A and B are shown apart, each in its own frame.
Chain A
Amino acid sequence: MRGTLVYQGRKGAARLLVGMALVVAATSSLWGEGPSGGDVIAKRQRVMKSNGYNVEDIKDKQKAGKIEDIEVNALNIALNAGQIPSLFPQGSLAEKTRAKPEIWRNWQDFVARARELEVQAEALEKLAEAGNKGGVATQLPKVEAACQGCHDRYRTPE
Chain B
Amino acid sequence: MPRGLTATASPFLILAAAPWLALPGVAAAQAAPTDLVAKGQYVFAVAGGCGCHTLRPDGPLNAGGRKYTGPFGVVYSTNITADRETGIGAWTDQQIVDAMRKGVRPNGERLLPIMPYPIFAGMAEEDMRALVAYLRTLPPVKKTNPPRQIKIPLFESVFLPAWLKVYTSPAEPPKAAPASGLERGRYLVESVAHCGECHTPRGITMAVDRSRYLAGTEEGPEGAVVPNITPDRKTGIGKWSEEDIAGFLKTGRKLNGDNVQGLMEEVIKGSPVGYKDLTDGDRLAIAAYLKTVPAIHNPIKR
With A56-B239, A157-B265, A158-B302: A144-B225 Cβ-Cβ less than 8 Å: no
- Contact A147:B225 (CB < 8 A) given known A56-B239, A157-B265, A158-B302: no
- Closest B residue by C-beta to A140: B257
Interface of A is mostly: helix
Chain B residues numbered 216-262 whose CB sits less than 8 Å from any CB in chain A: 224-225, 239, 244, 253, 255-259, 261-262
Give the distance in Å from the alpha carbon of A89 to the alpha carbon of B256 in the complex: 26
**Number of chain A residues whose Cβ lies closer than 8 Å to a Cβ of chain B:** 17
Chain A CB within 8 A of B263 CB: yes
- Bitwise, A109-147 to B at CB < 8 A (1) or not (0) is 000000000000000000000000000000010011001
Please give the distance in Å from A101's CB to the nearest CB on chain B.
Answer: 17
* Contact status A148-B256, CB under 8 Å: no
In the complex, which of the residues B256, B262, B265 contacts A52, with contact meaning CB atoms closer than 8 Å?
B256
Chain B contacts of A155 at CB under 8 A?
261
Residue of B nearest to A59 (CB): B255
Please tell me the size bucket of the interface on B. Answer: 10 to 19
Verify A55–B261 contact, CB threshold 8 A: no
Chain B residues within 8 Å of A44, by CB: none
**B256 (CB) vs chain A CBs: closest residue:** A52
Asked if A158 meets B258 with Cβ closer than 8 Å, knowing A56-B239, A144-B253, the reply is no
B residues 82-136 near A (Cβ < 8 Å) are: none
Asked whether, in the complex, the Cβ of A53 is within 8 Å of the Cβ of B256, the reply is: yes
Cross-chain contact B263 with A51 (CB below 8 angstroms)? no
Do the beta carbons of B263 and A151 come within 8 Å of each other?
no
Chain A minimum-CB-distance residue to B227? A158
Return the chain A residue nearest B266 by Cβ.
Answer: A157
Q: Which listed residue, B244, B253, B257, touches A51 by the CB 8 Å rule?
A: B257
Q: Is the CB of A158 within 8 A of B225?
A: yes
Determine the chain A residues whose CB is within 8 A of the CB of B262 once the complex forms.
157-158
Across the A-B interface, give the 9 residue pairs with the lowest CB-CB distance, nearest first.
A157-B262, A52-B256, A55-B257, A157-B261, A148-B259, A158-B225, A144-B257, A56-B256, A55-B256
Interface residues of B (CB under 8 A from A): 224-225, 239, 244, 253, 255-259, 261-263, 265, 302
